[in-house]
Structure 1
């Protein structure tokens, strides 16, 4: 999840809350604060989101097993370009699915940690999301490019 998406979700939640229920008036003797004293978050929601993302790993693992079993017995024949191309495609997808599975694990763990701690600052969460995004940056689609050789 990119930082911009995180900011959009927070903004949408704030707008929804503002439209649905106006904030209660503050007592006249209350000093102006940061607003964090009214902040509410449920650990269960964060934990549930983290667990759901981590469960995606099981589905991805199943897909990888099916991909591997479908590849069994296929070997590139000398001079057969389609066999070589198919083997390269298989290796590419295996690597990609492995990265997606790892990304789900890291993001799920981060969401669970945010729910447990509820003390991560926006900056800390942004840094962690950025680290995950950089580590698992998607590659450009190779379709349509002729291979040299």
Structure 2
């Protein structure tokens, strides 16, 4: 490679280089519509996965509570109608184990509901804090319109 060609390549590279800091990101028209913020937002925040999971956990908790509520009266009638049969004890044991399992599922879904909702809120708050700190950073040679 000749010296002149090397100098030309360096000059071309220098013309392409910008003095501003640039972040690697998708172009505005390819951004996700569920990520929050407008099309020209600098920071996109998405709590959607956490709040969606929290909502599902709450729905499961509610459904499990309903199942437990329905299980109890249904088993009372069965126990009364099967007195004296050998299966009565087995039915009672089965009902007891299912109540324990459903109660554990209900309680875990309730715990997850709160934890996932809190996590989504936390991530949203952290994103806002990071944006606030990043807005405070001043870079040399920043044009007046970008400040």
Normalising by structure 2, what TM-score? 0.49
Q: Between Structure 1 and Structure 2, whose CA radius of gyration is higher? A: 2
Higher relative contact order (CA 8 A, sep 6+): 1
